[in-house]
Structure 1
């Protein structure tokens, strides 16, 4: 079974981002690629993911369409180089210590907020 759609979108968005930062990429492609990468990597979507079916369609249609158009604007060897780099970066092991630290920070913040709202003013 091949990589999931979410995995491919992450790889493509990362490759576009790397291509945008490459000095060999034409200016118009950089500007368009910046929009594609920003949308793909942004936690905010045009259609929120919690809306059934439509929420996931924007990720499944808009981002691949943007990547496809960007691909037409960039020399093939540049995008291929950055796709390989993005794929390699995705294969790196996850830092579980980093994950634990972030989760601990979120739990501490949630506890502090909860504590602030549940103070008894006796």
Structure 2
């Protein structure tokens, strides 16, 4: 039973760390002193991490969680290496304060992402439907 509690605590801690890292990447993306290629990679990682749609759907046994356990942390690690350390440290501090706010902001951000994906899917289907 103690192992389960430790595993849950570890998961919660890592989840909070990833949330701060994603926030830091988003804040770094908005800065003018970050290279364009680092901004491009950072926003792709942030978009994928925040998106409710996964590359590998979660209902597929074992492989479904592969992106959550490997792809997102790997993308974050690569993006962090592309951004200068002093900038990412400043962004981490800002991100810690960013996520201490209101839960309503999280719902708004999630809703916006879902709406963007719905519009994207509708556009794709309308293109295919027009070719039939």
Establish whether TM, by shorter chain, passes 0.5.
yes
Higher helix residue share: 2
1:6 is paired with a residue whose SS is helix
Structure 1 residue 6 displacement after superposition: 2.7
User: Which residues of 2 match residues 84-95 of structure 1 at below 5 A?
Assistant: 84-95=93-104
Q: Hey, what's the Cα distance between the residues in 2 that align with 1:80 and 1:46? A: 29
Where does the alignment leave 5 or more consecutive residues of structure 1 unmatched?
103-122
Q: Does 1:65 align with 2:74?
A: yes
RMSD: 2.3
Q: 2:53 aligns with which of 44, 68, 79?
A: 44
Q: Does 1:14 align with 2:10?
A: no
Structure 1 residue 89 displacement after superposition: 2.0
Q: Hey, what's the Cα distance between the residues in 2 that align with 1:35 and 1:46? A: 13
Structure 1 or 2, whichever has the larger Rg, is 1
Runs (4+) of structure 1 exceeding 6 A deviation are none
The verdict on how the C-alpha distance between 1:49 and 1:8 changes in structure 2, with shifts beyond 3 A counting, is: farther
Alignment: residue pair count:
98
| TM-score relative to the length of structure 2 | 0.64
